[in-house]
């Protein structure tokens, strides 16, 4: 699911997975997605918000890579019907509209 979508997004130059789940780690590594860190215990579980997880992943990846990322795309495994066109259209709206944040939702 992730690998096929990421292969379609030619403009993506870095992909990471944030997880504490061993099976997810194996799946990500198996399709060539990097895990420069493991999600910490305080960020694990069903009651943790996306902002906390995303912020941790961004800062940890920037520290590991020694750079600053301008655009971050959060692709959750709970949206398996998302296509490359959906993601590209959303990012185009972000850039063209000069927005700080954009999101997508099902109709």
What is the longest distance spanned by two Cα atoms in the chain?
Answer: 39
The answer to whether residue 53 is domain-embedded is yes
pLDDT the model gives residue 32: 82
Q: How many domains does the chain have?
A: 1
d(CA 26, CA 24): 5
Handedness of CA 22, 29, 10, 60 (dihedral sign): positive
Residue 67 near residue 92, CB atoms below 8 Å:
no
Complete DSSP assignment for 29-90: HHTT-B-SS---GGG-STT--HHHHHHHHHHHHHHHHTS--S------TT-TT--HHHHHHH
Q: What is the pLDDT of residues 29-62, one digit of tens each?
A: 888 887 877 766 566 666 677 788 888 889 989 9
Strand partners, 34: 16
Per the structure, the complete domain to which residue 25 belongs is given by 2-97
The answer to whether residue 46 is domain-embedded is yes
Average pLDDT for the chain: 82
Q: What is the CATH number of the domain that holds 44?
A: 3.90.550.10
Residue 84 has pLDDT above 70, yes or no: yes
The answer to whether residue 78 is domain-embedded is yes
Residues 19-36 have a mean pLDDT of 80
Residues 96-103 have a mean pLDDT of 91
For 12, left (φ over 0), alpha (ψ -120 to 50), or beta?
beta
Strand partners, 16: 34
The answer to whether residue 102 is domain-embedded is no
């Amino acid at each position: 699911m992730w690998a096929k979508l990421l292969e379609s997004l030619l403009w993506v130059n870095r992909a990471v997975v944030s997880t504490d789940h061993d099976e997810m780690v194996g799946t990500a590594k198996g399709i060539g997605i990097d895990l420069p860190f493991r999600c910490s215990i305080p960020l694990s579980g069903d009651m943790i918000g996306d902002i906390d997880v995303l912020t941790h992943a961004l800062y940890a990846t920037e520290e590991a890579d020694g750079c600053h990322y301008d655009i971050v795309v959060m692709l959750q495994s709970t949206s398996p019907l998302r296509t490359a066109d959906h993601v590209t259209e959303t990012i185009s709206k972000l850039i063209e509209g000069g927005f700080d944040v954009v999101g997508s939702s099902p109709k």
